[in-house]
Amino acid sequence: MAVRSFSYDVFLSFRGEDTRYCFTGNLYNVLRERGIHTFIDDDELQKGDQITSALQEAIEKSKIFIIVLSENYASSSFCLNELTHILNFTKGKNDLLVLPVFYIVDPSDVRHHRGSFGEALANHEKKLNSTNMENLETWKIALHQVSNISGYHFQHDGDKYEYKFIKEIVELVSNKFNRDLLHVSDALVGLGSPVLEVKSLMDVGSDDVVQMVGIHGLGGVGKTTLAVAVYNSIADHFEASCFLENVRETSNKKGLQHLQSILLSKTVGEKKIKLTNWREGIHIIKRKLKEKKVLLILDDVDEQKQLQAIIGSPDWFGGGSRVIITTRDEHLLALHNVKITYKVRELNEKHALQLLSQKAFELEKEVDPKKKKK
C-alpha cells in the first residue's frame, strides 16, 4: 500500500460569517504558533455552492479535520458539501481524525436537525428542485454522522474560558502528532525490558518535578533506538516534544544555535527565529519553555557545552517535563548533575542471533530472484 503524503496537519471547516474573526481565527492562530501546519480557506476557494478542486485537494492532503459546527453552519450549502466530502474521504481511514467542535450549539440539535439546523435544512428544501433532493438527504446523513463523533462542546454560559477551550483542542491535536514523529527502522531486539526500565526511571506520572535521565553505553549498542522507543511510548503525556538527533555532529557543523532553533520550532512554533549565538538562545529557551511541559531528547552528546546551551538546568522547563540524554561518556552526565542514568549493554548471544536472522531475512527479500526484472 502506498504511503499517503500530507500537505497539512489540520483542515478547518467552519462557517466564516459565524467564527472566522473570533473562535476559528483564534484557534488557527494557536495551532500555527504551536507549529501545526493548518489549512484555513481564504474565501477565494469558495465559489458558489460546490467545493472547488483546490479545496478538495486540500482536504485530501490533510490529516486532522476540525469541524466547527456553529449556529449558521448548516445554512451554507457550501459547508454541508464540504462536510460531506470530508466524511466520505475519511471513512475507513484509521490514520485520519475528524474532530467536531459544537460551538454554542447543542449536539442533539445537530443530530436530530432541530433549532437553527432544522430551520436551515427546511430553507434548503424550499430552494431545491426535485432533482436535487438527494443532496438534502446526503446533508442530513452527514450532520447525523458528525454529531455522533466524539468531540468538544463549548457554551458561553459554561464554566470555561474560550482560550482554555481552544488550548484543550490544540493539546489533543499536538499529542496526536507526538505519536507520529519518530520511526524505528530496526526491530527492538532485546530492548523490551530496557524500555520498561527507562520509563520507570522517568516517572512520567509525576508533574511536580523536571526529570533528566542519561542513557549511556558503547557506540552502536542501541542507545538511540532505545531513546526513540521510549519517546514514542510516552510522547502523548506532554504538551510538546522534540528529538534532537546527532547533537555532536550537528553542533560541530551548524553550531549550537541551530539546535536551539530546532528546539524552539518543535516546541513553541518559532519558525522564523534567527539566533545570532547560543547565549541568546539560552535566554529565549528559558523564557519560552519555563511554563511548558515538554519531552526532550538529546541524542549523541559529547560535550558539556551542548548540555549547557540546550538544557542548562531543570528550572528552564515546566513541571512534569522530561529530558533524555544519550551519550558514550558517563562522566559527562555526572558533570551536568544528571543523577538518574541507565547503561545500555551489548546484546547477549540469543538476541544477537535473533537480530542477525532478521537482517539476513530482510536482505534475502531484497535480492529475491523472483522479484527481479527479466
pLDDT > 70? residue 368: no
**CA 351, CA 189: separation in Å to the nearest integer?**
6
What are 55's strand-pairing partners?
none
* Residues in Cβ contact with 104 at an 8 Å cutoff, skipping those fewer than 6 apart: 70, 71, 154, 155, 156
pLDDT digits (tens, 9 = 90+) for 301-320: 999 999 999 999 999 999 99
Residue of 17, 33, 44, 82 with catalytic role: 82
Fold agreement between 8-178 and 191-344 = yes
Active site residue 82: yes
pLDDT digits (tens, 9 = 90+) for 232-286: 878 877 878 899 999 999 999 999 999 999 999 888 877 667 888 999 999 999 9
pLDDT at 79: 95
Residue 271 has φ and ψ, to the nearest 5°, of: -75, -35
Asked if residues 242 and 266 have their Cβ atoms less than 8 Å apart, the reply is yes
State the DSSP H helix or E strand holding residue 243, giving kind and residue range, or none if neither: strand 240-244
Which listed CATH number (3.40.50.10140, 3.20.20.70, 2.160.20.60, 3.30.565.10) goes with 8-178? 3.40.50.10140
For the chain, domain boundaries: 8-178, 191-344
> In a 10 Å sphere around its CB, with 0-12 CB exposed, 13-18 middle and 19+ buried, how is residue 5 labelled?
exposed
CATH superfamily of 191-344: P-loop containing nucleotide triphosphate hydrolases (3.40.50.300)
